[in-house]
Structure 1
Amino acid sequence: MRTEKLKGLEIKLVHTVPVEEFQALYQDAGWWQDEYKISDAFLRRIPEKSALFAGAFLKKKLIGMGRALSDLCSDAYIQDVVVLSDYQKLGIGSMIVTFLIQELKKREVDWIGLIGEPGTRAFYENLGFRQMRDYIPFKLE
């Protein structure tokens, strides 16, 4: 069943994605509510302006994504890793993160970090990430 559902899956770097499918990913994850409409121009800029934007495509449909913010020289932050709920628990999220790590390492980026949502610790630890000790994430309010 698992392999059948993943038949034709392709993870690749892209600079553009279908706006409707992109917004659907964020809404499905609960990051944006249905009534919260983001402009198409804003959505187009996210993959264009990310250092790396990995899309998971199944039969040309965007079913998952992840991106890296970076100078592509020394540091990178992986963010917005999301897979449509119908395709979760199949390893696609791990494939996306692993793909981004490989692409960053090809570019000799030597520091890769991220901030995970509550409940994602085991997922990221299984991919080699460890909680940073003595550091506190901050956000400008």
Structure 2
Amino acid sequence: MRTEKLDGLEIKFVRTVPVDQLGAIYKDAGWWQDNYKISDEFLRRIPEQSALFAGAFLEKKIIGMGRALSDLCSDAYIQDIAVLSAYRKFGIGTLIVTFLIQELKRRGVDWIGLIGEPGTRSFYEKIGFRQMKDHIPFKLE
């Protein structure tokens, strides 16, 4: 992790994010290609409809994000943890995940899971996540 500080960095929960900035994070993460067309309405709904949506803001610009899908009383799934590539290795992703976990626990959520991308195992293990033995993630095709 780089030791420099990002003065003015703020992690907070929000319900709205400028759609161009949110789309840029998804594209920078490699999840959406430049020719992948997403409506502004779809982008608006991501923070609005997530149980929790945490943004990392620097000078009022969102540079990282993460969200939780949950009933906010027993179970939660963390997903879409992403930080713009220019701001990676500052520990921002860890701050976002920790921020989400703290709020979920404060609300009494006692089961928090996620599915990490290949290569992210050590990142999540440092935060406290462990691979679930004898469980298989599924996706409807």
* TM bucket normalised to smaller: over 0.9
Partner of 1:62: 62
What amino acid is the match of 2:140? L
Which residue of the partner structure matches residue 8 of structure 2?
8
**How far apart in 2 are the matches of 1:70 and 1:29?**
23
1:94-105 equivalence runs, <5 A: 94-105=94-105
Q: TM-score, normalised by structure 2?
A: 0.97
| 2:92 is the counterpart of 1:92 | yes
Q: Distance in 2 between matches of 1:45 and 1:56?
A: 18
2:58 and 2:48 mapped to 1: Cα distance? 21
| Counterpart-to-counterpart distance in 2, 1:41 and 1:29 | 20
- Residue identity matched to 1:130: R
The alignment-based identity, stated in percent, is 78
Please give the per-residue CA displacement for 1:23-64, whole angstroms capped at 9, x wherever unaligned: 000000110001112000000001000000000000100000
Please identify runs of 4+ aligned residues in structure 1 that moved more than 3 A: none
Report how far residue 10 of structure 1 moved. Answer: 0.2
Alignment of 1:1-141 (within 5 A): 2-3=4-5, 6-141=6-141
What count of residue pairs does the alignment treat as equivalent? 139
Counterparts of 2:40 and 2:105, CA distance in 1: 32
In 2, Cα distance between equivalents of 1:12 and 1:36: 28
Distance 1:79 1:140 in 2: 17
Q: Any gaps of 5 or more consecutive residues in structure 1?
A: none
Q: CA RMSD, aligned part only?
A: 0.7
Secondary structure in structure 2 of the residue aligned to 1:2? coil
Q: TM-score, normalised by structure 1?
A: 0.97
| Amino acid paired to 2:116 | G
